[in-house]
Amino acid sequence: MRSITRRLASLGHLTWPLALTFVGVVLLSLGVAYLFIHAYRTIEGLPPIVSVITLQFIPRLWRGVLLVVAGLAVLAVGIWRLSGVVVIPLDQSAGADDLVLGYRRESPPQIAVLSGGPGLLVLSAMGEQVARLTCIVPVQDPVEYYYRAAGLFNLHNVYYVVPTPEPMQVLAELDDGTVMDVRHLALDPTIAERYVRRLRLEGATQAPQLTRLAAEAIRDADALVLGPGSLFESILPNLLLAELRQAIAHSKARTIYVCNLMTEPGRTTGFSVADHIRAIKQVGGFTPDYVLVNAQRIDPEVHRLYAAANQSPVYLAPEEAEERVVLPGDQLAHQRALVEGAVVIEADLASSVIQYTASLSNPAESRAVRVLRHDSQKLTATILELLRRT
């Protein structure tokens, strides 16, 4: 009731204009009614359609009641729709010559996120600008880790939920047939040149049940964001759940995939943007509506550091574009690439940061290196702008 009253209060400046308009409509209606009465009394052989339009087949009393009720209903709907526009009166005394007619009210979106690790915490900063941000952690991770990590940043309006009641083990099969826990891929340097061929849940004799909170988050979301995070460790494991895939299929949410900045040794070695999209389609059974790809070119020094770790930047190659499309509201009609059925948007999404790493041979020693990371503010601005325009 309070929200209804607050919305109607925006019509305060229109009280007298609306009252005068209402009186004018009543006088106009009476005039039309008198003209109809005059026509009935003076004109012979009126078409039958006139009798139907004027409801002559209904008794006069009920005819009047019906018209009054219909008029009040239409008037109420009109006033309610009018209250959706804020009208600011023109201050003529100040000599102003600009008149603001109104603007459309937009409620903040609800967003669900499928990711894990540090990437999930990067996106958590969006919580202050949306109605609700629900982060569904990877099926193999306990949720307590994310709550403890988020507590260090004092995040607001961010909720972490698990997809299944208990964590599950996820196994990865590499292109050479090696099978190992998906959490150990990044720890084994001997498989740096390999990539993951497929994932599976270990020991799942029956279809795991999706938690109610995860199902509701996907159902109510305006957007489902996949990433940022490791493709095979943070994003795809949850898509192994049949109920979660069904929830996505029945959700109205637009799907946005945040593509990795760099390839991952032992996981996505040699992957292009199209390869990342195909992996999601293979496991999840759907193609993301939009894919965000970093367009910022990294400097040679950072590039050499990643190359030494068998990593390369993930950029959109010109030959990957199947065709070009234009999004609503794009300035200068920028063309976006369509790759594997997904609209790929290139944007500045990353920043170089200094990270201290410990030496494996001497843990007491550490060295500073420049690394590329998704920028929380850039990523948040890009996603919210995309949702606003689409």
- Domain end, chosen from 55, 89, 123, is at 89
Position 287 in a domain: yes
Residue 300 — very low, low, confident or very high, per pLDDT cuts 50/70/90? confident
Same domain, 192 and 120: yes
Position 145 in a domain: yes
Q: What is the mean pLDDT of residues 165-169?
A: 93
Position 105 in a domain: no
Beta bridge partners of 179: 173
Above 70 in pLDDT, residue 64?
Answer: yes
What is the share, in percent, of the chain residues with pLDDT greater than 70?
85
Position 344 in a domain: yes
Above 90 in pLDDT, residue 336?
Answer: no
Position 100 in a domain: no
Q: Is 220 exposed, middle or buried (0-12, 13-18, 19+ CB in 10 A)?
A: middle
Residue 356 — very low, low, confident or very high, per pLDDT cuts 50/70/90? low
Inter-residue contact 238 to 273 (CB < 8 Å): no
Count of the separate structural domains present in the chain: 2
Domain of 141: which CATH number?
Answer: 3.40.50.10680
Same domain, 152 and 186: yes
Position 11 in a domain: yes
Same domain, 293 and 148: yes
Q: Nearest to residue 164, comparing CAs of 207, 112, 113, 124?
A: 207
Same domain, 127 and 76: no
- Tokens 């900063």 identify what position? 125
Above 50 in pLDDT, residue 161?
Answer: yes
Q: What is the mean pLDDT of residues 213-225?
A: 97
Same domain, 337 and 255: yes
- Domain end, chosen from 56, 89, 122, is at 89
CB atoms inside a 10 Å sphere around CB 365:
10
Same domain, 128 and 227: yes
Half-sphere exposure of 113 (CA within 13 A, CB side): 30
pLDDT digits (tens, 9 = 90+) for 68-127: 888 888 888 887 777 766 555 555 554 445 544 554 556 899 999 999 988 888 888 899
Q: What is the mean pLDDT of residues 354-362?
A: 59
Position 244 in a domain: yes
Same domain, 59 and 134: no
| Residue 274 belongs to domain spanning | 110-349+375-389
pLDDT digits (tens, 9 = 90+) for 266-276: 999 999 999 99
Above 50 in pLDDT, residue 360?
Answer: no
- Domain end, chosen from 54, 89, 124, is at 89
Same domain, 193 and 291: yes
What is the share, in percent, of the chain residues with pLDDT greater than 90?
46
Cα separation, 310 vs 307, in Å, equals: 5
Summary mean pLDDT of the chain: 84
- Could you tell me where the DSSP H helices lie in the chain? 2-8, 15-42, 48-53, 60-82, 117-123, 144-151, 212-220, 236-239, 242-250, 273-284, 300-308, 376-389
DSSP state of 268: B
Please state which of the ranges 157-161, 248-252, 283-287, 352-356 shows the lowest mean pLDDT.
352-356
Position 310 in a domain: yes
